[in-house]
């Protein structure tokens, strides 16, 4: 299957700082990428849909000014958590697909964010 990577795999930061997480499709071009968040012992929650070259579409309740998403190329999307606080500590996971309603989404390994 297709490979999606994330960097970093884990990060610890101080409250008030910003953290950038990268999501890359390694062996295919991803017209659409998705960002999810997962709290301990809970399921994945979709945060936003990112299409290459256009603004991301955020799910209800997700602050677009706090979670900045950029999808500048067909192989890279970034999520920046701005002014992070301890409640933003979570497991952030991206997925990527080539396009079309029958294309499979492939997930990255996730990034563990801990805000002190």
Q: Does 45 bind another protein (CB under 8 A)?
A: yes
Q: Does 101 bind another protein (CB under 8 A)?
A: yes
Q: Does 82 bind another protein (CB under 8 A)?
A: no
> Coil, strand or helix: which one is 77?
strand
Binders in 3-42 for another protein, by CB under 8 A: 4, 6, 32, 34, 36
Q: Does 61 bind another protein (CB under 8 A)?
A: no
Closest distance of CB 104 from another protein, Å = 6
Binding site residues, another protein, CB under 8 A? 1, 4, 6, 32, 34, 36, 43-46, 49, 91, 93, 95, 97, 101-110, 112
């Amino acid at each position: 299957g297709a490979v999606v990577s994330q960097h970093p795999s884990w990060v610890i930061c101080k409250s008030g700082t910003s953290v950038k997480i990268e999501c890359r499709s390694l062996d295919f071009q991803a017209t659409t990428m998705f960002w999810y968040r997962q709290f301990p012992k809970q399921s994945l929650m979709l945060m936003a849909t990112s299409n290459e070259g256009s603004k991301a579409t955020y799910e209800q309740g997700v602050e677009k000014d706090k979670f900045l998403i950029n999808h500048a190329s067909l192989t890279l999307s970034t999520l920046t958590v701005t002014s992070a606080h301890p409640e933003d500590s979570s497991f952030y996971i991206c997925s990527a697909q080539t396009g079309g309603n029958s294309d499979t989404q492939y997930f990255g390994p996730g990034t563990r964010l801990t805000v002190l």
